[in-house]
Amino acid sequence: MSSAYLIHLGITFAIQLILVGSLSFLFGGVGVPNLAHVSAVAVGAYTSALLSLHFGWPFSVTLCSAAVAGVVSGLFLAGLLRRVRGDYLALLALEVHFLTTTVLLNWPSVTRGALGLPGIPRPEGFATPLGYLVLTGTIAAAVITAYWAILRSPYGRVMAAVRDDETAALAFGKRAPSVRMTAFLFASAGAAVGGALLAHYIQFIDPLTFSIHLLALALAGAIIGGVGSVPGMVSGTAVIVFVPELLRRVATGNPDVAGALRQFAFALLILLVLLLRPRGLFGKIDVR
Amino acid sequence: MGAIAQLLVNTIVPGALFGLAAASFTLTHRVTKILNLAHGGVVMVGAYGYFWASRSGWGAGGGAAVALTASTATALLVALLVYEPLRVRATLSSIGNLIASFATLLVIEALLLMGFGSRTRSAPALLPTHRYDLGGAFITAHQGAAVIIAVCCTIALAVFLRWTRLGVAMRAVADHEEVAAVVGIDPARVRLWAHAIAGFLAGVTGVLLAGELAFEPRFSVSVAISAFTRSTIGGMGSIPGALAGSFLTDFAMNLWTWVGPTAFREVAALLLVILVLLFRPWGLFGRRPSGS
């Protein structure tokens, strides 16, 4: 196991931790199954990539811009989904996900469509793999700590109340819609930051990077670890990062099959968790 | 004139096919309260079953039989392994069911990918290729047959629900499971029948789709979303609504293409479903909910 490989694993873990964590925060913290999560990731990635490619802005600026763009997309999405709950929210969100992919593919003047954005620069000062590991690790730790702090704060308890029984929360005078909106914004900001880190790591993004499979991966991580808890976020991310590495040992000649095998494994794991232990490894609530 | 006729053809053909998919999707939802996203996967199982059978020398009829058996069996298997066990612990119309159905969809898609690869495939049309000219619009024999078959199946489903004993039992379980049990209906059996019939009709859709366009496993997800969108627009739980909603959706998408940028035609469908959910959530043909 070369150190280069370990560093790569570390960076992947850190980025996935942000993606899983933001979804888990929204889903487990306030009960919103945001299947459009990857849209916020894409918004962050494209924002940061485009700003650094076209204007040459430094990474610190593009990262913040990505977070802002994520918040704006979260505002828009939360507004759209304001009136719906549960299954319908999840499915509408999934439709928004597809809409985002369509927009990314069919707006070549901005996104270069299917050609994607190549040559995304590494941040100055953190260009080496090890440097990037330090950067992503630090940002991931900061984001997760922020989520942890919110979840265990009094506000986190209000979020949990809205999640568990919105009517009761309203009866107690808690402004449920704005609680959900705020959680949405925090989650979208995190997802966008993760997207930006992803873009500057792999240095090439196209609409297919932000596919349903990225969503399935994040969802698997959130559910397997257990939504709404930080140990859940970490353990779930560990599963989704290390299972593919294990699967790599399964020799398959056909590259199609390798990807499909991974999808099969994650989807099956989600099913097993839902059937046998809906709480996941460390979850606060059952995904019922 | 020709353009309008073509618009009509372009609305009716996918409208009928996806209308059947939506109708069977909404059947499952009505009887089990589950938004069965795996339905999209079952449709593709039908498509690939037909593809495999035609490659292995079965004719059109035999191939369809293979496909329908495969799709019905898949739907039943999913019901037995995933949805029925989840009922034990889950509340109705919960997120757990939806995520489970999403995961099942992905499992089916992954299996199809592993079995058939990601390249697009096509299967022979049910009828020999012949294009008819209807007032300036072109429609192939297969497309015409597909529309007729899909619409007939949808009507048959509506008739089944209204007039047959099993259909009435399904509606009873759909409306009030406990009372249905009290009068001697076995809800579990009825639910399984609903899944089986939905799987059968999904297979029909798959066979018709297979002969019509080049397909790949990744279609599973878009078929599932389509079925949901169209049945929501038409009114969840309504069979005629599913068909009408499907026609309306295709009409809206084609109109959008006509007057606006071609690229974003799915935006039309999404806008339509958002408008429906915001202003008339019970859809075009659904009943306004009264009380619980």
| ipTM at complex level | 0.86
Residues of A with CB under 8 A from a CB of B: 33, 35, 80, 83-84, 86-88, 90-92, 94-96, 98-99, 102-103, 105-106, 212, 216, 219, 223, 254, 256-257, 259-261, 263-264, 266-268, 270-271, 274-275, 278, 286-288
The rounded distance, in Å, linking the Cα atoms of A170 and B192 is: 39
**Average pLDDT estimate for A204-217:** 90
Token pair, residue B10, equals: 């372009």
Of the given ranges (A196-210, A215-229, A245-259), which has the lowest mean pLDDT? Answer: A245-259
Q: A71 φ, ψ to 5°?
A: -60, -45
pLDDT at B261 over 80: no
Backbone angles phi, psi at B280, to 5 degrees: -150, 65
In a mutagenesis test of the B interface, which of A35, A275, A277, A286 is the best target, namely the one with the most B β-carbons within 10 Å? A275
- B212 contacts B17 by C-beta, under 8 angstroms: yes
Q: Identify from B89, B95, B120 which residue to disrupt to test chain A contact, counting A C-beta atoms within 10 A and taking the largest count.
A: B95
Residues A50-68: tens digit of each pLDDT: 999 888 888 889 999 999 9
In tens, the pLDDT along B94-107 reads: 678 888 999 999 99
Measured distance CA(A283)–CA(A29) in Å, rounded: 11
In the structure, what pLDDT confidence band is assigned to residue A279 with cuts at 50, 70 and 90? confident
CA atoms of A25 and A190, how far apart (whole Å): 10
Are A122 and A1 within 8 A, CB to CB?
no
| Helices and strands (DSSP H and E) totals, chain A | 13, 2
> B290 pLDDT band (50/70/90 cuts)?
low
Kindly state the percentage of chain A with pLDDT values over 90.
51
d(CA A69, CA A59) in angstroms, rounded, equals 15
Three-state DSSP at B274 gives: helix
- Give me the half-sphere count of Cα atoms (radius 13 Å) on the Cβ side of residue A22: 36
Do the chains contact at A264 and B261, CB–CB below 8 Å? no
More confident residue, A73 or A128: A73
Residue B83 to residue B100: CA distance in whole angstroms: 8
| Partners of A204 in beta bridges | A118
For the whole model, what pTM was predicted? Answer: 0.90
SS3 A173: coil
Confidence (pLDDT) at A220 = 92
Cα B270 to Cα A55, A90, B39, B232, B259: the distances in Å are: 34, 14, 20, 11, 17
User: Which structure tokens are listed for B47?
Assistant: 């498509």
- Higher-scoring residue by pLDDT: B95, A6: A6
Q: Residue A24 to residues A213, A233, B163: CA-CA distances in angstroms? A: 17, 7, 47
Instruction: Region of A226 please: left (phi>0), alpha (psi -120 to 50) or beta.
Output: left
d(CA B123, CA B48): 9
In angstroms, what separates the C-alpha of A204 from chain B's closest C-alpha?
23
pLDDT confidence of residue B122: 85
Q: And the tokens for A117?
A: 């954005």
- Name residues whose C-beta falls within 8 Å of residue B137's C-beta, 6 or more positions apart in sequence: B2, B5, B6, B8, B9
Closest residue to B228, CB basis, from A91, A254, A270: A91
The confidence score (pLDDT) of residue A254 equals 67
CA distance B99 to B102: 5
Structure tokens at A123: 């941040």
Residue B93 has pLDDT above 50, yes or no: no
Q: In this structure, what token pair is assigned to residue A267?
A: 């989807």
The answer to whether the CB of B252 falls within 8 A of the CB of B258 is: no
Confidence of residue B58 (pLDDT cuts 50, 70, 90): confident
Contact between residue A196 and residue A47 where contact means Cβ atoms under 8 Å apart: yes
Structure tokens at B129: 């290729």
Given a cut of 60, is residue B292 above it in pLDDT? no
pLDDT of residue A262: 86
Handedness of CA B90, B92, B93, B98 (dihedral sign): positive
Note the pLDDT of residue A251. 62
Q: State how far the Cα of A205 lies from the Cα of A203, in Å rounded to an integer.
A: 7
| Unique residue bearing structure tokens 């990539």 | A49
Average pLDDT over residues B215-239: 92
Confidence class of residue B48 from pLDDT cuts 50, 70 and 90? very high
Question: Which residue type, as a one-letter code, is found at position B95?
Answer: I
Shortest distance between the Cα of B32 and any Cα of chain A, in A, equals 14
Q: What is the mean pLDDT of chain A?
A: 89
Which of A84, A91, A264 lies closest to B111 in CB terms?
A264
